[in-house]
Structure 1
Amino acid sequence: MSDVTVIKIAIVGVGKIAQDQHVPSIKGNEAFELAATVSSRDGLPGIENHAQLTDLLEKRPDIPAVALCMPPQMRYEAASLAIEAGRHVLLEKPPGATIAEVQDLVERARAKNVSLFATWHSRFAAGVPAARAWLAERMIRHVRITWKEDVRRWHPGQAWIWEPGGLGVFDPGINALSILTEILPEPVHLVQSTLEVPDGRQAPIAASLRFRGPAGLTVEADFDWRQTGPQTWDIEIGTDTGSLSLSKGGAELTIGGRREMTEADVEYAGIYRRFAELIDAREIDVDLAPLIHVADAFMLGRKITVEPFEE
């Protein structure tokens, strides 16, 4: 850091993802100090808590950065308040409930000369940079994404994920799309979408997507929130000179049947390294490509009603 030694930061929304990932990543990064939280319920032991974001912004002008970890439907208003108050903003994924509101946040951040970071944590998985470099020199023929997990395990009691803007199975599925858009040399576009929506819910529990790209490239993606037992987060890619696979959410890279690397739990550490860089440079890093693919999936989606989902 060129002009600061420690950046005080506040976490807004102290739910499961904040406690599991953001708190340890902030504490493990010497560029940051976790100075406060914002939560209408209990915050974190030993950390100052404010019931409302407006209270934090008014009472702690010495905290220049906030990490917004509340559900996406609530993120735009909070980000707008923080940016208007001159704070740097980190957005947990997905960055917002709509594309338009995130685009507006970019303009607001640019006008206030503050950093805005729309995070895609899976892009910081250990195998992703090497996969991108290897694919850059090859003709990609086909991509197969299988992203299946147990919603009861990862989102217990979180009703917001089933509401409009909550994304349903695309909450994890967008992680795969963030890797896809990071490692492919050329963009692809959606051509087919099937959404399985539980009776009485507003968002899908499973989805099947098909994409096309240049030179005949095809991409198939299957997302499902009903998988019990071992969880599956795999991307398999066939090229003109061999195959590549990313498994365990991008933590494990295999090329031509040979495992190249395996390293877990580095994603959020990477996010906060990047956020420190952005704050130092007062830059904006917002890539909407994964969210655009999800929006297209809803626009083209053929809806199939399936059995009700109950906790």
Structure 2
Amino acid sequence: MDPIRIAVVGVGKIARDQHLPAIAGNKAFSLAATVSPHDAGVEGVSHHKSLDELIENGPAVDAVALCTPPQVRYDLAVQALNKGMHVFLEKPPGATLSECVALSSRAEKVGTTLFAAWHSRFAAGVAPARAWLAERRIESVKIVWREDVRVWHPGQAWIWEPGGLGVFDPGINALSILTHILPRPVFLKTATLEIPANRAAPIAADIQFRDTAGAPIHMDLDWRQTGPQSWDIVVETDAGTLKLSNGGAVLTLPTGAEHSEDLEYPGLYARFANLIRGGRSDVDIAPLRLVADAFLRGNRQTVDAFHD
């Protein structure tokens, strides 16, 4: 079977650190091209300044991985879908819920694969955590997702703009795990968003969710963490405590801890290849829906200006 010829659109840190190595390590794909107006691309691989240029003058491409900021992703995705390309959407899959719904409808109409890729769901501890929780009564959940924005997003102005999500850019990773491992749906009760005086998106958030059985879920997000970073989910159940730490890589059950190799992006591309081969799409917007609810219902508090 011939490999899927894929182009990476948006060659920034996430593309170089995760997407390109994952594509290189998966025989189902071959890197046909890169697209970026700012980056020189990969040596020996066809490079283009825009998707228009790739379509007009570049090599044949079966699929694209969109690694651009979410605010510009919709038009690129529609353009690719209309050309019969399969589309991999980095998280979050769009700047709005309506964009995601429209893209899903377009992919179904043209008969191509659309994949909303939640990489944290492929962290080593997530699948076994989901299986263990399926047979337990959930009593409460606590999420602490605290990191230093200067380390993880230096100089990235887009992330502070409308649609950039602010602290929910990493926080949505926790929500992608939460909505995947809990056996019941989750919805928002209250939220407080702390927004710097010179920015449009929050730098911190304190959120109360609950599931449909009434279990309380507390989420603590903060981009001002220095020193050790915190990416932890603790679930109290009738059979003891489950903890996912290090972004889901480490699972601790009452019987002990398990730590496996990080295979998030290789797992994503294996999933994408399977979807393409099976003629299916996977566009789960539950994590983004919870973020939208926080912006819809959250109480906004202005805090000190933030400067890189």
- TM-score, length-scaled by structure 2: 0.98
1:105-116 map, 5 Å = 105-116=103-114
1:49 matched to 2:52: no
Match of 2:276 in 1: 279
Q: Which amino acid aligns with 1:307?
A: D
Looking at structure 2, the residues matched to 60 and 265 of structure 1 have their Cα atoms a distance apart, in angstroms, of 34
Match of 1:198 in 2: 196
- 1:55 positional shift: 1.4
1:18 matched to 2:15: yes
* Cα deviation code 1:131-152 (max 9, x no counterpart): 0000000100000000001111
- 1:263 positional shift: 2.3
Looking at structure 2, the residues matched to 187 and 216 of structure 1 have their Cα atoms a distance apart, in angstroms, of 10
- 1:296 positional shift: 0.1
Secondary structure, aligned partner of 1:285: coil
- 1:50 positional shift: 0.6
- 1:257 positional shift: 6.0
Q: Which amino acid aligns with 1:272?
A: Y
* Cα deviation code 1:184-211 (max 9, x no counterpart): 0001110000000011100000011101
Contact 2:32 2:59 in 1 (8 A): no
Aligned pair partner of 1:39 in 18, 36, 39: 36
Match of 1:131 in 2: 129
Q: Which amino acid aligns with 1:50?
A: H
Match of 1:90 in 2: 88
Q: Which amino acid aligns with 1:141?
A: E
Gaps of 5+ in 1: none
Match of 2:98 in 1: 100
Aligned pair partner of 1:242 in 240, 243, 263: 240
1:262 matched to 2:259: yes
1:28 matched to 2:25: yes
RMSD: 1.0
Looking at structure 2, the residues matched to 27 and 205 of structure 1 have their Cα atoms a distance apart, in angstroms, of 35
Contact 2:165 2:202 in 1 (8 A): yes
- 1:264 positional shift: 4.1
Aligned pair partner of 2:286 in 280, 284, 289: 289
* Cα deviation code 1:153-187 (max 9, x no counterpart): 11111000000000000000000000000000001
Secondary structure, aligned partner of 2:150: helix
Looking at structure 2, the residues matched to 265 and 159 of structure 1 have their Cα atoms a distance apart, in angstroms, of 29
Q: Which amino acid aligns with 1:74?
A: V
Match of 1:161 in 2: 159
Gaps of 5+ in 2: none
Q: Which amino acid aligns with 1:167?
A: L
- 1:35 positional shift: 1.2
Match of 1:233 in 2: 231
Looking at structure 2, the residues matched to 114 and 214 of structure 1 have their Cα atoms a distance apart, in angstroms, of 34
- 1:61 positional shift: 5.9
1:310 matched to 2:307: yes
Secondary structure, aligned partner of 1:216: coil
- 1:30 positional shift: 0.9
Looking at structure 2, the residues matched to 214 and 85 of structure 1 have their Cα atoms a distance apart, in angstroms, of 42
- TM-score, length-scaled by structure 1: 0.97
Looking at structure 2, the residues matched to 290 and 234 of structure 1 have their Cα atoms a distance apart, in angstroms, of 17
Looking at structure 2, the residues matched to 265 and 126 of structure 1 have their Cα atoms a distance apart, in angstroms, of 6
- 1:60 positional shift: 3.9
Among all aligned residue pairs of Structure 1 and Structure 2, give the percentage whose two residues are the same amino acid: 60
Looking at structure 1, the residues matched to 171 and 202 of structure 2 have their Cα atoms a distance apart, in angstroms, of 11
- 1:24 positional shift: 0.5
Looking at structure 1, the residues matched to 169 and 118 of structure 2 have their Cα atoms a distance apart, in angstroms, of 11
* Cα deviation code 1:12-62 (max 9, x no counterpart): 000110011001010011111111100112222222111110111223462
Contact 2:78 2:106 in 1 (8 A): yes
Aligned pair partner of 1:218 in 211, 216, 219: 216
Looking at structure 2, the residues matched to 305 and 45 of structure 1 have their Cα atoms a distance apart, in angstroms, of 46
Looking at structure 1, the residues matched to 37 and 9 of structure 2 have their Cα atoms a distance apart, in angstroms, of 10
Secondary structure, aligned partner of 1:146: strand
Looking at structure 2, the residues matched to 227 and 87 of structure 1 have their Cα atoms a distance apart, in angstroms, of 40
Q: Which amino acid aligns with 2:180?
A: E
Match of 2:120 in 1: 122
Looking at structure 1, the residues matched to 213 and 60 of structure 2 have their Cα atoms a distance apart, in angstroms, of 53
